[in-house]
Amino acid sequence: MKHSPGYRLATTILHGFDEYRARFKEITCDASRRFRDAAWRDAQLASAERINLYKEKIDVTLGRLKRTFDPEVVSHCECWREARSHYVELISHRLDFELAETFFNSLFCTIFHHRHIRNDWMFVYSSREDAAHRSGIELCRRHKVNGDWQAALKWALLDAPLENRFADIDQDTHLGASFLQQHLPAAMLEADDAEIELLNSVFYRNKGAYLVGRIRGGGEQMPLVLPVLHGEGFGEQQGGDPSLHLDTVLIETDEVSIIFSFTRAYFQVEVAVPREFVDYLQQLMPHKPEGELYAAIGFFKHGKTEFFRALNRQVAKREDQFIIAPGVRGMVMAVFVLPSFRTVFKIIKDKFDPAKDVTHAVVREKYRLVKRHDRVGRMADTQEFSNFIVRQDHFAPECLEHLLEVAPSTVVLRDDKVIIKHCYTERMMTPLNIYLEQCGDAEKEMVLKDYGNAIKQMAAANIFPGDMLLKNFGVTRHGRVIFYDYDEVCYITECRFRHLPKGQGVDVSSLSIGPNDIFPEEFGPFMFANKTLRDMFMVQHPELFDPDYWLELQQAIVDGRVIDVYPYRNKQRFAGSIGQLVY
């Protein structure tokens, strides 16, 4: 039987998607082995490979389409209309149908250069908007507490699919149970129906394994996350301890939200039914956007799809217009916002300020570097868009005028449409310089401490931010300081940290300085024009101004040490080591 070009187009795309999913699952499933063996460098490489995998498989499938079909078939929208119809049937019983739709969209947008965005030819809206039926697959395991919280935690840990033994399960569960008894509401603690419910899948990231679920009882529920770590030094030094311990217990929604933050590397976690998995996570974190949750579990391209759909819905409400982002205007990027959507849109300017010695290509590569890298909770994730089209009346006039002035090669006005050929999106935050102008002294001290911690934690992940000005950092609703300006980032291992020559009145400009030379002793005046803030910061983080601190950190990275950066406060840890980098 001879099939139509539209049908063959649909099956070829689905074949490419199956190849992508098979390799994605292989990488993800191997996370348990990497954790068991403390293969931390392998984990970093696997994370980058899985991010790169999507584009690789799109490119492979695109090549297959071009070899298999005549150009007039591939470039004919009506052929894609038929292909879409067949594709809907082909994926109708799949558990990952929404990911398959996004894969189809990626190929359509690649071929048509992000033009002709219509639901007739691609999946602007999902073919299964109502998600009419459930899979019936059980996502969770459950255990009745029956008044014994220590036994319930022992069940939670020992029944998890973790291959290493626990060093002292009784001590761990005693500490965990004591924490719960001190912090859970009395109605939940004493409820006859109290139970612990955990997702069957373990969430792996960096050096941690996370058991995720909730506590229910007395008509209430609270999220529950149990981070599990190896003993000190395992995988990096002789005599490291391979046994496991419970590092802390997290039950606050905000704390769990930080674990799943848009500033962190994506989890490696086995997900049988993505839609239902995300639905469950959203019950634990109701304020977390769907798109961010899909991205957090590795499906960042479908996270972009959900983001785009949510943005379209918000724009259609006409509650506000796009405006220039508050704060100091960037030297490389033009930034605008839709205030009600809590997102910033960043466009590379046509011409940079003279102080910036970079090119468009370099800027884009820096953003790709951060996308692939471990962001350790301190660098905002970005989504990249091409040919983004918005009606002119959705822009405040002064905003559109500014964009047309500074980026005329990227922003084009055609009839009543604004066409943005390329932009990045990031979560909106309050710029750190503005935040410091508006907060009291106690809050200043707290946020400056976190600013220093952000720099240290990025450095621990082999990232030097380059431009450390306050305006390039933001503060989240949780009060965390996040870096978001990537045009000067580089690896710590590429830097040459130098001491200033001894003697008074040294003029740095008179020294012979290479492109990667950095003088930490000069950071203070560069970072802070306000001497009061500078003095406060230097008391909190004196090591950041010491070249030896940077040189020792650099050597540790060169030696292959993967430095611990935990997504919760040191004071929350049951057995935290002094000096470890934490939230």
- By annotation, the residues acting in catalysis are 381
Residue 276's contacts (CB-CB under 8 Å, 6 or more residues apart) are 134, 135, 137, 139
Residue 469 exposed, middle or buried by CB count within 10 Å (0-12, 13-18, 19+): middle
Give Cα 482 to chain centroid, integer Å. Answer: 12
Interior angle at CA 287, CA 286 and CA 289, nearest 5: 100
For residue 312, give the nearest of 343, 285, 287, 288 by alpha carbon. Answer: 343
Q: How far apart are CA 377 and CA 365, in angstroms?
A: 21
| Tokens encoding 16 | 């490419």
For residue 36, give the nearest of 157, 164, 158 by alpha carbon. Answer: 164
Q: How far apart are CA 339 and CA 93, in angstroms?
A: 39
- Asked whether 40 and 235 are in contact (CB, 8 A), the reply is yes
Tell me the residue type at 516.
Answer: N
For residue 511, give the nearest of 423, 161, 503 by alpha carbon. Answer: 503
| SS3 label, residue 308 | helix
Give just the sign of the alpha carbon dihedral 33, 35, 38, 43. positive
DSSP string, 216-268: EETTEEEEEEEEEEEPTTTTTSTT----EEE---B--HHHHHHHT-TTSPPPB
- Asked whether 237 and 171 are in contact (CB, 8 A), the reply is no
Q: How far apart are CA 325 and CA 428, in angstroms?
A: 9
Query: What count of Cα atoms within 13 Å lies in the side-chain half-sphere of residue 243?
Result: 7
> What does DSSP say about strands 496-497 and 517-518: parallel, antiparallel, or unpaired?
parallel
Q: How far apart are CA 365 and CA 374, in angstroms?
A: 16
How many H helices and E strands in the chain?
A: 20, 21
Give the DSSP H or E segment for 210.
Answer: strand 208-217
